[in-house]
């Protein structure tokens, strides 16, 4: 049988030597490893004071975008939910009423739109499936919490602010290669 790693050891019940029985060499060896790591380069950083440089195409917290006039772009078509492999997206559609044209761009909109961030695997399929350029993943980190409920993100968190100065910038992730990939007809999501 082919071994998966070279780290496995055959367990034997041979009698321990005198040095093994007094444990001191083993303790010293353990202390040496601890001290070596203590003064070595740290693997962790003091977030949020320190931040690592992310990949340009890092996929973080979603945003539901508005158009230039501040109207919600999402038309509750459900394609993002269908494309989601983690079944993390749910929504309830509603019909736009007369007088609401300044709020919603399409005749149908998402009255409720939720993403379960504990299920989400940040694959970006929802972004690729969206025909309205409504949902994007951003370079923002999803905040941690001790409870499950706060991880159900509703429209209050997902929809970007109306104020043009407070809109969520998505340009960092939309690199030339990402845009090219989104339009490449060889891939099913672009057909």
Phi, psi at 137, each rounded to 5°: -95, 145
Q: Which is nearer to ligand SF4, 130 or 168 (CB)?
A: 130
Counting contacts by CB under 6 A, is residue 84 touching ligand SF4?
Answer: yes
Counting contacts by CB under 6 A, is residue 126 touching ligand SF4?
Answer: yes
Candidates 27-35, 116-124, 147-155, 168-176: pick the segment binding ligand SF4 (CB under 6 A).
116-124
Instruction: Identify the residue among 27, 45, 112, 121 touching ligand SF4 (CB under 6 A).
Output: 121
DSSP the chain: ---S-S-------PPPPHHHHH-HHHHHHHHHHHHHHHHS--S---TTTS-PPPPTT---SEEE-B-TTS-B------HHHHH-TT--EEEEEEEPPTT-TTTBSSSEEEEEEEEETTT-----HHHHH-TTS-EEE-SPPPPP-SSSGGGEE-HHHHBPPSSGGGPPP-TTT--HHHHHHHH-TTSGGG-
Decide if 179 contacts 128 (C-beta within 8 A).
no
Q: Which is nearer to ligand SF4, 44 or 92 (CB)?
A: 92
CA distance 47 to 62: 21
Q: Which is nearer to ligand SF4, 57 or 129 (CB)?
A: 129
Instruction: Identify the residue among 123, 142, 170, 178 touching ligand SF4 (CB under 6 A).
Output: 123
Counting contacts by CB under 6 A, is residue 120 touching ligand SF4?
Answer: yes
Instruction: Identify the residue among 63, 66, 89, 104 touching ligand SF4 (CB under 6 A).
Output: 89
Instruction: Identify the residue among 63, 74, 158, 159 touching ligand SF4 (CB under 6 A).
Output: 74
Counting contacts by CB under 6 A, is residue 135 touching ligand SF4?
Answer: yes
Counting contacts by CB under 6 A, is residue 130 touching ligand SF4?
Answer: yes
x/- contact string, 26-65, with ligand SF4 (CB under 6 A)? ----------------------------------------
Q: Which residues bind ligand SF4 (CB under 6 A)?
A: 74-80, 83-86, 88-89, 115, 120-126, 129-130, 132, 134-135
């Amino acid at each position: 049988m082919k071994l998966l790693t070279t780290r496995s050891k055959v367990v034997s019940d041979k009698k321990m030597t005198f040095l093994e029985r007094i444990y001191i060499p083993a303790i010293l060896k353990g202390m040496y490893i601890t001290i070596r790591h203590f003064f070595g380069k740290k693997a962790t950083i003091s977030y949020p004071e320190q931040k690592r440089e992310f990949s340009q195409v890092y996929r973080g917290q979603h945003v539901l975008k508005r158009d230039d006039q501040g109207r919600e772009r999402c038309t509750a078509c459900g394609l993002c939910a269908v494309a989601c492999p983690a079944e993390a997206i749910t929504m309830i559609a509603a019909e736009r009423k007369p007088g609401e044209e300044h709020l919603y761009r399409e005749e149908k909109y998402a009255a409720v739109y939720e993403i379960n961030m504990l299920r989400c695997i940040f694959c970006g399929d929802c972004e690729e499936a969206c025909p309205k350029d409504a949902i994007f993943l951003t370079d923002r980190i999803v905040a941690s919490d001790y409870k499950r409920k706060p991880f159900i993100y509703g429209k209050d968190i997902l929809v970007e602010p109306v104020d043009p100065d407070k809109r969520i910038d998505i340009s960092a992730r939309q690199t030339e290669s990402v845009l090219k990939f989104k339009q490449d007809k060889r891939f099913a999501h672009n057909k």
